Chains A and B, each alone.
Chain A
Amino acid sequence: MSAAFDAGLAVLLFGVAAWTVASRDRFAAVVGFVVYGSLLAVAWLRLHAPDVALTEAAIGSGLSGVLLLGAAARLRGGTEARRPAAGLRVLAAALAAAVAAGIGAVVLALPEPAPTLAPLAAEDLDATGLGNAVNAVLMAYRATDTLLEVVVLVLAVVGIWSLAPDARWGGRPWPRHEAAADGVLPFLARALTPVGVVAAVYLLWVGADAPGGGFQGGTVLAALWLLVVLAGLLDAPATSGKRLRLALLAGPAVFLAVGLAGILLAGSFLAYPPGWAKALILTIEFPKTFSIAVLLGLLLMGAPRRSDAA
């Protein structure tokens, strides 16, 4: 029975992927991509990787989908995309097929049993105070990678802001969304926000022992923020605001501070003194989640385009 389900899922994945690539309409292709991401999340669940599934649904499908939708909307009405020359298309198809074949060959050629560090990661789980090996890797064994991921997000937002013309620098991104008196969107924003905040904090907290964590919780918070701004209940922030910039940097700054303290207290960067791991990880996680929410929200709002500063 489950084999039939998996086979159906695989066929659907291939079908949606092919349709997304073949679609001539930008909007339809983006919708196809979002559906593909959601199906992929189910596939990760079937592979017993709920952490990856959550991330795929939140970031791969949701966040990237909205980014692509925004891009497709901005391209609309511009010059129609010219079809690249036949030779170029064949070349691109051949290159993509070669990459796919290469990945397939590597996956199929993996030795049985596959090489894994999972037993090692599980062995020292107690020392981290966490119950979820995935987040132990993210927050303890390889915390440097996670720190760099957050820093990359900060750099991405700075990069997007720098696309603003000089006169708009420090202004607000997005057009002002007016709340319609009979609007259903303000209602949804009001009804959903309390539920969503609870869900986000839950995702963050439960990440210690079960699938979840700061990135997933932060994505939920970012989505809520965008919903509230879209509904017109709040204006997009002025990017020159001191408090906004503080919110951007709080996460990475606390992360770095704990990391540097590790040099003094435990002998190396981002090392946790014995017995303090869980407390320090939580100290990092809360501001990090908050900063990720602000960063992801700003990433989607794009470059400042209104000069009315705060």
Chain B
Amino acid sequence: MSFALDLFTVAAVSAGAFFYLAGSVGLLRFPDTLSRLHALTKADNLGLGLLVVGLLPQAPSVRSGLGLVAVWLLVLLTGATVSQLIARAARREPRRA
């Protein structure tokens, strides 16, 4: 059972790391602000989500597992807000985008 859980952790964390890598590549290579933001939010939301899901079986207690999920939810909330703000600023000033 614990082997299966470890395997699940490795798979989910690797998938999360992949999304971070893809998001970083997108951030560096995409042509304009809006698509760069798109790439970045994938890393934040999916990448971190997969990391958290992967780490949940390793959490020593239900409480620390809930803490991990809370971190993810907070990053979702702030990440979405900040990317909205940046996107609106970029649309208002397209020359600097």
Contact = CB atoms under 8 A, between A and B. Distances in A.
Interface of A: 184-185, 187-188, 191-192, 195
Contacts of A187: 81
Contacts of A185: 81, 85
A192 B85 contact: no
15 contacts: A184-B80, A184-B81, A184-B84, A184-B85, A185-B81, A185-B85, A187-B81, A188-B77, A188-B78, A188-B81, A191-B77, A192-B74, A192-B77, A192-B78, A195-B74
A187 B85 CA distance: 12
Given A184-B80, A187-B81, A192-B77, 8 more contacts: A184-B81, A184-B84, A188-B77, A188-B78, A191-B77, A192-B74, A192-B78, A195-B74
Interface SS majority for chain A: helix
Interface range, B side:
under 10
Interface of B: 74, 77-78, 80-81, 84-85
Contacts of A191: 77
Contacts of B80: 184
Contacts of B74: 192, 195
Contacts of A184: 80-81, 84-85
A62 to B, nearest CB: 13
A195 B77 CA distance: 12
B13 to A, nearest CB: 14
Cβ-closest 9 pairs across A and B: A188-B81, A184-B84, A184-B81, A191-B77, A184-B85, A192-B77, A185-B85, A188-B77, A188-B78
Contacts of B84: 184
Contacts of B77: 188, 191-192
A184 B78 CA distance: 10
